[in-house]
């Protein structure tokens, strides 16, 4: 059993994975590589001057991999269920369990609906400001929760919000992920 299962490997899913794994929560991401980022070119993502969406995804995947995220590339999730211990995710070949679930499947809301998450009048997944759904410890992000605001930077923020809320629950106090130059020196060396 891992701490967090994330379904979807676009900006929202990978952002959630980065924040969670970086701060000590074992994280598994299921990524079919169906992200809209392969059709994008980023000019409107803060800190990215101009980058092809596929190149951005390569960088994002490399970053989460460097922190030890268990990324199941090319693995499609066929079902999610709530269990006494948290959640179970089913793929064609296996089942996985975790205390928390983050759904980051773009505009596809089928898994959220099958889990019993409340939906809005616009048929988006109803979440609070932390991205938590009506199902405790299950989160929805990005295009799942917005009718038309499908921006990579918004989705990445949603993933971060979900992970930070999970970390707050796990730590028992409000959790901040704030790095300093000394943290970078320790992790990457002084030349970073």
Confidence of residue 70 (pLDDT cuts 50, 70, 90): very high
Work out the mean pLDDT of the chain and round it to a whole number: 93
Quick check: 127 pLDDT over 90? yes
Q: What is the mean pLDDT of residues 99-106?
A: 96
Please count the structural domains in the chain. 1
Confidence of residue 178 (pLDDT cuts 50, 70, 90): confident
- Cite the beta strand spans of the chain per DSSP E: 2-7, 27-31, 41-42, 51-52, 70-73, 77-83, 86-91, 95-103, 138-140
In terms of residue numbers, what domain contains 148?
Answer: 4-188
Q: What is the mean pLDDT of residues 16-30?
A: 97
Residue 163 is predicted with a pLDDT of 98
Q: What is the mean pLDDT of residues 58-85?
A: 96
Residue 190 is predicted with a pLDDT of 67
Q: Rounded CA gap, 129 and 121, in Å?
A: 18
Say what percent of the chain tops pLDDT 90: 72
Residue 73 is predicted with a pLDDT of 94
Name the pTM for this structure. 0.93
Q: Rounded CA gap, 96 and 47, in Å?
A: 35
Q: What is the mean pLDDT of residues 165-192?
A: 86
Instruction: Give the CATH number, domain containing residue 11.
Output: 3.50.50.60
Helix (H) or strand (E) holding 155: helix 152-171
For residue 157, count other CB atoms closer than 10 A to its CB: 17
The two three-digit tokens of residue 115, written as one number:
């889990």
Residue 188 is predicted with a pLDDT of 77
């Amino acid at each position: 059993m891992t701490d967090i299962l994330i379904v979807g490997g676009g900006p929202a899913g990978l952002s959630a994975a980065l924040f969670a794994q970086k701060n000590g929560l074992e994280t598994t991401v299921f990524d079919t590589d169906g992200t809209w980022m392969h059709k994008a070119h980023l000019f409107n993502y803060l800190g990215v001057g101009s980058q092809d969406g596929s190149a951005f995804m390569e960088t994002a995947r490399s970053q989460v991999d460097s922190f030890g995220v268990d990324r199941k590339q090319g693995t499609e999730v066929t079902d999610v269920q709530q269990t006494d211990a948290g959640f179970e995710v089913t793929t064609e070949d296996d089942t996985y369990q975790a205390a928390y679930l983050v759904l980051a499947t773009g505009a596809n809301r089928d898994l959220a609906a099958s889990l019993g998450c409340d939906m809005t009048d616009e048929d988006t997944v109803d979440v609070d400001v932390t991205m938590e759904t009506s199902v405790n410890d299950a989160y929805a992000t990005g295009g799942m929760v917005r009718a038309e605001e499908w921006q990579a930077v918004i989705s990445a923020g949603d993933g971060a919000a979900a992970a930070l809320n999970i970390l707050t629950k796990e730590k028992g106090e409000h959790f901040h992920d704030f790095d300093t130059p000394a943290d970078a020196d320790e992790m990457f060396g002084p030349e970073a």
